[in-house]
Amino acid sequence: MRKLLLLALVASGAAVAQAEDVIWDNGLPKTTIFNGAESWLGYSSGNLGGTLTQRWWAEPFTVRAGGATITRVTANWFTPVGSDAVDVNFIIWKRTALNAPGNDPVVGGADIFAMGKLGDWSLGTHDPRLPHPDDTTWWGVLAPDSFLRFMYHDYPLTGTGGVSGPITLPAGDYYFTVYADGLGTGNVTGQSNIAWLSGSSGDNAALNPDNSWRATSWPLSMGVGGFQFYAPSNVVATPFMGDPRERWNVAFQLFGVTARKAGQVSGTVNWNSFVGVAPGLTDDMSFQWRIPLLETGTTNVISFRYPYIINSQSFSYGWSSPVADDRSYDAKISFRYWLRRTLNYNPANNYTGADFNMVNGDLVVDNDINSDDFDALVAGFGSSGAGGTSTDPAGDIDGSGNTDSDDFDILVANFGTVGDN
């Protein structure tokens, strides 16, 4: 998988249509630097035995005014070899700011709001938000198929077979954990463990923690155990992360019914006047792009989104709007020689057909197609190169690998056009 670090915005991977409301969407996992190497890092959660009787992960989320009823949960995790479990359970704690969860073990007491079973432990399925049905291209060499292919888990809260029924939450702040329990038939380690994949964007950068909270044993007993500060120095953000604190986020979604849902945005980015392929991209490859969501008319980042690119000419994009933030936001796309285009969104609304129609020919990349671009084209006229890559010949607007009359025609047609703010 190729990841391009850009201040520009490019998006793909249309949001999966859901009949229910999106109550919370922490986004897809990303790689993290672990022990000096780029890795798909999962944080263990379950009954690990020894001095780590429980090792749970506390991930913050918020329910807005009017409350919510959770009817389905998804989470991205894998199981270390030999640590198969019987059940996958959950706990929801009440949260104060980003302080550690409390240690009252009584459901409905001072700390725990709800707990129960999400479903049976099993291998997962392909994540519908990813472009390749078999995951083989997306995972690549960083994550062997036998280890991480089945990492998406979907849990309808049916209230049958021991599974929890729908969970009704009043407006407020919470922590959420999933964890493995029981020793499955393939277990050889004596530990029931699911590794919750990390590096997700989180709903809102304001809730990205400076550290995480993990339980070494639970509940607190005679001053020992409970949730403890966790931020080891061997877990480091990649340069691709817009917010380095994303390394402490884990990937999950909450669906159901709520008065304040996450708006879903989708559309198409059309790379007009282009015949080449985007840098590092062919039709059988995919990679993530980084998309800052900016408070309208400012440079203030509300959050980041990381959809996938699978087509070099035009492609679908989609994301969940930040549900914990009422500010409207801008998404800006500017890449290579295309002028910047900006679309504005209300986070509470759904937007379909929100298309970015890109105008090509800004050779000097100043967001204006003018005489400076003409001069750059003249200087490079007649040169040739790879096309559509970082080794483009000077003035090659259309990515063909040649600077010729076709590029001249594009510049003339778009001459005088100015990009969006």
Nearest Cα residue to 308 out of 275, 285, 337, 338: 285
- Mean pLDDT in order along the chain per 10 residues (421 residues): 30 44 95 93 87 82 97 94 94 91 62 93 84 48 45 96 97 95 92 94 95 78 72 95 97 96 91 74 60 95 84 75 95 90 95 93 97 96 76 86 96 98 92
Look up residue 405 and give its two tokens. Answer: 């009359």
Q: What is the pLDDT of residue 132?
A: 57
| Contact (Cβ atoms closer than 8 angstroms) between residue 367 and residue 339 | yes
Look up residue 209 and give its two tokens. Answer: 């923690």
Q: What is the pLDDT of residue 389?
A: 60
CA dist 119 and 154 (Å) reads 9
Is beta strand 212-215 parallel, antiparallel or unpaired with respect to 227-230?
antiparallel
Instruction: Compute CA 283 distance to the chain's CA centroid, rounded to the nearest angstrom.
Output: 22
- 8-state DSSP, 83: -
What SS3 string covers 206-270?
Answer: HHCCCCEEEECCCCCECCECCEEEECCCCEECCCCCCCHHHHHCECEEEEEEECCCCCEEEEEEE
What letter represents residue 260's amino acid? R
| Contact (Cβ atoms closer than 8 angstroms) between residue 54 and residue 186 | no
Q: What is the pLDDT of residue 138?
A: 42
CA dist 47 and 62 (Å) reads 27
| Contact (Cβ atoms closer than 8 angstroms) between residue 389 and residue 366 | no
The residue with tokens 């929801």 is 92
Look up residue 108 and give its two tokens. Answer: 């409905």
Digit-coded pLDDT (tens) for 49-98: 766 677 888 999 999 999 999 999 999 999 988 999 999 999 999 999 99
Q: What is the pLDDT of residue 107?
A: 55
Look up residue 127 and give its two tokens. Answer: 């994540």
Q: What is the pLDDT of residue 127?
A: 82
Alpha helices in 26-144 (DSSP H): 136-139
Q: What is the pLDDT of residue 341?
A: 94
CA dist 419 and 404 (Å) reads 24
Number of other CB atoms surrounding residue 121 within 10 Å: 23
Look up residue 302 and give its two tokens. Answer: 């509300």
Nearest Cα residue to 246 out of 28, 7, 15, 23: 28
Number of other CB atoms surrounding residue 188 within 10 Å: 10
Q: What is the pLDDT of residue 2?
A: 32
| Contact (Cβ atoms closer than 8 angstroms) between residue 267 and residue 315 | no
CA dist 232 and 218 (Å) reads 21
Q: What is the pLDDT of residue 412?
A: 98
Digit-coded pLDDT (tens) for 227-264: 888 999 999 999 999 999 999 999 999 999 999 999 99
| Contact (Cβ atoms closer than 8 angstroms) between residue 60 and residue 209 | yes
Measured in degrees and rounded to the nearest 5, phi and psi for residue 16 equal: -70, 130
Instruction: Report CA Rg, the chain.
Output: 24
Nearest Cα residue to 30 out of 200, 236, 205: 200
Is beta strand 21-25 parallel, antiparallel or unpaired with respect to 252-258?
antiparallel
pTM to 2 decimal places: 0.86
